[in-house]
Amino acid sequence: MATFELRGLIKAYGKTRVIHGIDLLIADGEFVVFVGPSGCGKSTTLRMIAGLEEVTGGEIRIGDRVVNEVDPKERNLAMVFQNYAIYPHMSVRQNIAFGLYTSPLSKADKARKVDEAGALLGLTPLLDRRPAALSGGQRQRVAIGRAMVRDPVGFLFDEPLSNLDAQLRAQMRIEIKDLHRRLGTTIAYVTHDQVEAMTMADRIVVMKDGHILQAAPPMEIYDNPVDVFTARFIGTPSMNIVPATQSGGVVTLAEGDPNLLAGVRPHDLLVGSTIADPGLTLTGTVTAVEPLGPETLVHFDVAGRSIIATAPAHGPVTIGATVTALAPRGHVHLFDAGTEKAMGRA
């Protein structure tokens, strides 16, 4: 068990900086998920924590030890890769046992730990198979097993579920979360899937272009995003953003070059609502209708922008119709139009 701490962490490849001095403290036993668009530096950050990538500047601490110059194996972390990277020429049992390669345990103790890990991950009947004879989900479990047997002080996951189909992904999400509950080990987890981030994380770290934009619990980020990027990145469908002006607590759509942006989540923007005193009202022509079952998503154009709102299931909305959607007060996010930083709600 240990804390991970990044202090002014910088990474450059040659002259190109890809991580611009980030600070983060991951608490002991915390499950932290790094999200961000492709190329924002998530993997690089994780690989620096692992010791697979050299640190250009700043400090990484595990517990209270600075590990910048420490070999990966000395850090006692375990990593699960996107491609699983389980060794194809070894059986499942040998693969898992490889996690104990440097362990001083006796042969019998090692075998027992491998069996335990196999049982915990539901791999017992597969222990003597080769990876070629396993499904994607089973391979991923072998990779997790190899990481687990060692009792590392922390787990690092780099997009471990991105090669699985949606159903398996949902199942593995729960299994990994469950594993974390049982082992209580610190986890740093990289993904670009914001659903994974929302459902698994104790805390989400949103990254962009080598900077951390926000690090907070999932609902805190959802409710109070610090800027337009974070607001749009977390939550599906993405938050609607329109130019606006504000007077007396009421936000109205603005033409031209206003100094405010108003953001409203599709689930807070309701078609056919009759609330008395809305915080924002948008009217436009419907361009697409997506029935999801419990509700229907309505796409419509407002001043050349595509807006998504929610309508009740079996609603009468049709393409080409003009609709009005309302957002209740308190659910409209305001951002500075220049800096795109959050300015509270209306």
Partner 1 sequence: MAATDTGMTPPLPMARIRPGRIVTWTVLSIGGVLMITPILFMFSTSLKTAGQIYDLRLIPQNPTLANYVAVLTEGQFPRWFLNSAFVAICVTVSNVFFDSLVGYTLAKFRFRGRQFVFIAILSTLMIPTEMLVIPWYLMAADLGWLDSYWGIMFPGMMTAFGTFLMKQFFETVPDDFIEAARMDGLNEFTIWWKIAMPLVTPALSALAIFTFLGNWTAFFWPLISTTSKELYTLPVGLTSFAVEQAIQWEMIMTGAAIATIPTLLVFLALQRYIVRGVMLAGLKG
> In the complex, which residues of this chain contact ligand ATP (CB under 6 A)?
13, 18, 36, 38-44, 192
18 binds, among ligand ATP, partner 1, Mg ion, none (CB under 5 to 8 A by kind): ligand ATP
**C-alpha span between 309 and 270 (Å, rounded):** 6
Joined together, the tokens standing for residue 137 give 């989900």
**C-alpha span between 110 and 102 (Å, rounded):** 11
Nearer to partner 1, 129 or 267 (CB): 129
Question: Binding to partner 1 by residue 259, rule CB under 8 A?
Answer: no
**DSSP-derived secondary structure for 35-95:** E-STTSSHHHHHHHHHTSS---EEEEEETTEE-TT--HHHHTEEEE-TT----TTS-HHHH
Question: Binding to partner 1 by residue 234, rule CB under 8 A?
Answer: no
Q: What are phi and psi of 180, to 5 degrees?
A: -65, -40
Question: Binding to Mg ion by residue 191, rule CB under 5 A?
Answer: no
Residue partners of 74: CB distance under 8 A and separation at least 6: 51, 67
| Min CB(192)–ligand ATP separation in Å | 5
Nearer to Mg ion, 95 or 191 (CB): 191
Q: What is the dihedral of CA 35, 41, 45, 50, to 10 degrees?
A: 100
Binding span for partner 1 by CB under 8 A among 126-134, 191-199, 211-219, 289-297: 126-134
**C-alpha span between 196 and 55 (Å, rounded):** 28
Tell me which residue has its CB nearest to Mg ion: 43
Half-sphere exposure of 277 (CA within 13 A, CB side): 6
Interface with partner 1 (CB under 8 A), residue from 99, 210, 263, 266: 99
Q: What are phi and psi of 143, to 5 degrees?
A: -60, -40
**C-alpha span between 318 and 11 (Å, rounded):** 52
177 binds, among ligand ATP, Mg ion, partner 1, none (CB under 5 to 8 A by kind): none
79 binds, among Mg ion, partner 1, ligand ATP, none (CB under 5 to 8 A by kind): partner 1
**DSSP-derived secondary structure for 273-302:** ---SS-SEEEEEEEEEEEE-SSEEEEEEEE
| Min CB(39)–ligand ATP separation in Å | 4
| Min CB(155)–ligand ATP separation in Å | 17
* Site of tokens 């090669």: 163
Are 286 and 321 in contact by the 8 Å Cβ rule? The answer is yes
Nearer to partner 1, 53 or 202 (CB): 53
Q: Residue 342 forms beta bridges with which residues?
A: 335
Q: Determine the residue type at 214.
A: Q
Question: Binding to Mg ion by residue 45, rule CB under 5 A?
Answer: no
Question: Binding to partner 1 by residue 105, rule CB under 8 A?
Answer: no
Please give the DSSP secondary-structure letter assigned to residue 224.
S
Q: Residue 333 forms beta bridges with which residues?
A: 263, 345
Interface with partner 1 (CB under 8 A), residue from 85, 119, 275, 303: 85
Nearer to ligand ATP, 35 or 86 (CB): 35
| Min CB(97)–ligand ATP separation in Å | 30
224 binds, among partner 1, ligand ATP, Mg ion, none (CB under 5 to 8 A by kind): none
89 binds, among Mg ion, partner 1, ligand ATP, none (CB under 5 to 8 A by kind): partner 1
Residues lying near Mg ion in the complex (CB under 5 A): 43
Residues lying near partner 1 in the complex (CB under 8 A): 50, 52, 72-73, 77-79, 81-89, 98-99, 101-102, 130-132, 136, 139, 143, 146, 150, 163
